[in-house]
């Protein structure tokens, strides 16, 4: 049986790593099924429609939302925040916010780049790498957002 200390360690590691793990698995999935017609048509649809513009809008809103939540957390002074500070995990919470904010920002920037170079994207290796990087950061952004907002709502319930 796993000790409680080991179980807490595994839980903390998973809490930190799961946005990276699932984003990487998404990219591996795309690499494995890169010849699949459905996947190819989905990528073409994302690039040829206004989906990238919608993603930019949504990610920009999430960027502002995350910064607002961060300012609320910094100003919170309740027993949950104090407990997080006492056990030394406050900086980790701020780090989760930071990764979500930067994930959103990088996704917006890469989406803008994709819009700008869309006419030049072909079936070559460069285009494929650009799409994989964008896909990784898009997934990472959403998973980091989920992680941070989930923790924020736990804190809000205990306030």
Report the distance separating Cα 31 and Cα 106, nearest Å.
22
3-state SS of 3-53 is CHHHHHHHHHHHHHHHHHHHHHHHHHHHHHCCCCHHHHHHHHHHHHCCHHH
Average pLDDT, the chain: 86
Q: Where are the domains of the chain?
A: 4-158
Cα–Cα distance between 66 and 68 in angstroms, integer?
A: 5
Angle at 49 between CA 48 and CA 52, to 5 degrees: 100
pLDDT, average across residues 14-34: 90
pLDDT at 123: 67
Percentage with pLDDT > 70 across the chain: 97
The listed range with the strongest mean pLDDT (26-35, 42-51, 80-89) is 26-35
pTM of the model: 0.85
Per-residue CA distances from 3 to 12, 47, 53, 96, 114 (Å)? 14, 49, 49, 26, 48
Cα separation, 159 vs 155, whole angstroms: 6
Greater confidence (114 vs 49) lies with 114
> Residue 61 has what pLDDT?
94
For residue 159, pLDDT beyond 70: no
Hey, how many other C-beta atoms are within 10 angstroms of the C-beta on 11? 10
pLDDT tens, residue by residue, 118-154: 877 776 777 778 888 999 999 999 999 999 888 888 8
Share of the chain above pLDDT 90, in %: 35
């Amino acid at each position: 049986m796993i000790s409680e200390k080991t179980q807490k360690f595994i839980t903390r590691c998973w809490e930190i790593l799961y946005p990276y793990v699932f984003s990487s698995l998404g990219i591996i999935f795309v690499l494995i099924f890169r010849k699949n017609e459905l996947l190819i048509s989905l990528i073409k649809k994302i690039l040829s429609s206004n989906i990238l513009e919608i993603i930019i809008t949504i990610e920009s809103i999430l960027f502002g939302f995350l910064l607002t939540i961060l300012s609320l957390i910094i100003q919170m002074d309740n027993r949950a925040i104090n407990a997080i500070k006492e056990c030394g995990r406050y900086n980790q919470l701020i780090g989760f916010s930071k990764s979500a904010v930067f994930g959103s920002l990088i996704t917006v920037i890469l989406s803008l780049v994709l819009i700008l170079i869309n006419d030049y994207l072909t079936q070559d290796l460069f285009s494929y790498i650009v799409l994989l990087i964008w896909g990784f950061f898009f997934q990472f952004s959403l998973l980091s957002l989920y992680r941070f907002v989930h923790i924020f709502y736990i804190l809000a319930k205990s306030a």
